[in-house]
Structure 1
């Protein structure tokens, strides 16, 4: 336990200013998401651009690719939420059966494809975990863009596996951020579920 604490302290000391900035923006993004505020998207885009660079440097290639996807989906989600001024905002709701099928396809097919790409074309030392974290996050982000309650569930599956993966790669503050995101996502799910039930009623 003492060794783990020492390793944690040493990694915190070694954390770059760029990683600290990415963490701060990431926390702001998830708090805005929990509050159901559209500002989560510009904040998230800024954070993900930083993480792309950081993860490439750490040889977490699927995580880096995931953040490219985040940028694209954030732009899509931003438009999907706001749409045109004369149209109502998309309401928070539960995923349909068809949306669940798409979600599972993104998760498992994406996992397999990413794993094959990582093992064949990159020097990744953690292809299984890197691919799984990314594919489940892809699915969660797709649901978030459509304002589905279950986005929090998929994002937390990703977070649960990402925490030890990031720590293993000596990205300790990214790991801490992911733990924070995991906790906030639990409350986000409860909040959004309440909103969706109210809309349905």
Structure 2
């Protein structure tokens, strides 16, 4: 498809976007901006967004993305609890991952990819099992690190985003692709903002 065709498709989708999709986009944007600001309110906002996206993704047969959002829901509840507990305990809110956390994140990505790919390839009618599995498994790792308030969550989430963007265009979902592009950009700023928090905490301790 030419750029003109994509632009026309984008215009058509904007005109025919349902209220549910607009709400999902709005809450998704709010969630990542709150995460960038290191605000615990990212979790209730994210839970609403996740439930809306699950409904929408089922309609376009992105089954791994649906499973990803089920995981997002569980991790949002878990992360909300952990962030609240750490705030009450007075612990530092952001930190770099240790070897253990990074190892777990990589294992989540690799094992998750293998399992999702096999399920999508053999038990669903997905036409993009490889890319769908990759997007979901790397995002799983990113969400786990986000719940732990580890700065590397932004890296894993953007590895997922950079593959998700062309995948969503392929699925003729330009609005979701544009949202994911926005999230990709915000995640870059989020990484550096969290790094400033870490450096500030380190200086205050010193």
TM range (shorter): over 0.9
User: Which deviates further from its counterpart, 169-178 or 79-88?
Assistant: 79-88
Whether the aligned pair in 1 keeps the contact of 2:40 and 2:83 (CA below 8 Å) is: yes
Q: Which residue in 1 is equivalent to 2:125?
A: 123
Whether the aligned pair in 1 keeps the contact of 2:10 and 2:175 (CA below 8 Å) is: no
CA drift at 1:125: 0.7
Residue segments in structure 1 that go unaligned for 5+ positions in a row: none
Counterparts in 2 of 1:96-175, with a 5 A limit? 96-175=98-177
Give a deviation string over 1:6-62, Cα, whole Å, max 9, x none.
Answer: 222222223222111100000000111111110000000000001111111110000
SS at match of 1:156: helix
Whether the aligned pair in 1 keeps the contact of 2:92 and 2:201 (CA below 8 Å) is: no
Give a deviation string over 1:106-136, Cα, whole Å, max 9, x none.
Answer: 1111111100011111111110010000000
Q: CA separation in 1, counterparts of 2:134 and 2:26?
A: 25
Q: Assess, with a 3 A threshold, how the Cα gap between structure 1 residues 32 and 86 changes in structure 2: closer, same or farther.
A: closer
Q: Assess, with a 3 A threshold, how the Cα gap between structure 1 residues 198 and 71 changes in structure 2: closer, same or farther.
A: same
Q: Among 184, 187, 190, which residue is 1:188 paired with?
A: 190
Q: What TM-score results when the alignment is normalised by the length of structure 1?
A: 0.95
CA drift at 1:165: 1.0
Give a deviation string over 1:41-100, Cα, whole Å, max 9, x none.
Answer: 000000000111111111000001100000000000000000177522452000111111
Residue segments in structure 2 that go unaligned for 5+ positions in a row: none
Counterparts in 2 of 1:47-58, with a 5 A limit? 47-58=49-60
The count of corresponding residues between Structure 1 and Structure 2 is 201
Q: Which residue in 1 is equivalent to 2:40?
A: 38
Whether the aligned pair in 2 keeps the contact of 1:48 and 1:71 (CA below 8 Å) is: yes
